Amino acid sequence: MRTTQILAISGSLRKASLNTALLRAAARLAHPGMRIELFGELGALPLFNPDIEATDPPAVANFRARLLAADGVLIASPEYAHGVTGAMKNALDWMVGCETFVNKPVALLNASPRAVHAQASLKETLATMSARIVDEASITVLILGARLDEAGIASHPEIAAALREALMAFQTAIAGYQAEDANGQDRA
């Protein structure tokens, strides 16, 4: 059986980011049939500028290639001023023109129950980009203020169980989409 490849993207550039720790914990908790790789170069993407889009900056080309190679995308982003971070929005803006997210399964993790505006904004942007938002795999994990690092998140009984369940739902959805897509191609 083929391993499901997931690209994890944190919308935070902070070294001690809870969102990044949450994604790393998810990678630790992924079952053997799933591999989660954290994209750590969000800060290397230049500011989106349509005038240089055709030049395909190397950081953008790398990001696009990694997205295209992934079976699904896992995103965790903090909220700033009732929206997603500038770094996260910038990354998504680079991908609009190349349609990298079209039909791409995406799950959203949320490290804070207060980040409702960022989650809604992410969902709206990704839906506009024609991503397949997997709601049953998109969860809010209450780690804000809990003083948990990656290891603490991965070993916390309730949080680990919720993450495992979300990852299993994500894997199931991805497999279903892949089967639908394969059947659609067979008919063509």
Task: Report residue 138 CA to chain centroid gap.
Answer: 10
Indicate the SS3 state at residue 160: helix
Report residue 116's pLDDT band, with 50, 70 and 90 as the boundaries. Answer: confident
Percent of the chain with pLDDT over 90: 79
Provide the H-helix boundaries in 54-149. 58-69, 86-96, 116-128
Q: Is the dihedral of CA 130, 62, 81, 77 positive or negative?
A: positive
* For the chain, percent of residues with pLDDT exceeding 70: 97
Give me 32's structure tokens. Answer: 């053997």
Least confident of 28-32, 111-115, 139-143, 159-163: 111-115
pLDDT number for residue 188: 46
Amino acid type, 59: A
Per-residue pLDDT at 95: 96
What's this model's pTM, rounded to 2 decimal places?
0.94
> In this model, does residue 125 exceed pLDDT 80?
yes
Beta 34-39 vs 4-10: how paired, if at all?
parallel
Distances (CA, A) of 115 to 7, 53, 82, 166: 22, 31, 8, 19
Residue 100 has pLDDT above 50, yes or no: yes
Q: Which residues contact 104 (CB under 8 A, 6 or more apart)?
A: 67, 70, 72, 73, 131, 132
What is the average per-residue pLDDT within 20-47? 96
Q: Are 29 and 82 in contact (CB under 8 A)?
A: no
147 CB neighbour count, 10 Å cutoff: 8
Please give the average per-residue pLDDT across 28-57, as a whole number.
Answer: 95
Average pLDDT of span 105-126: 91
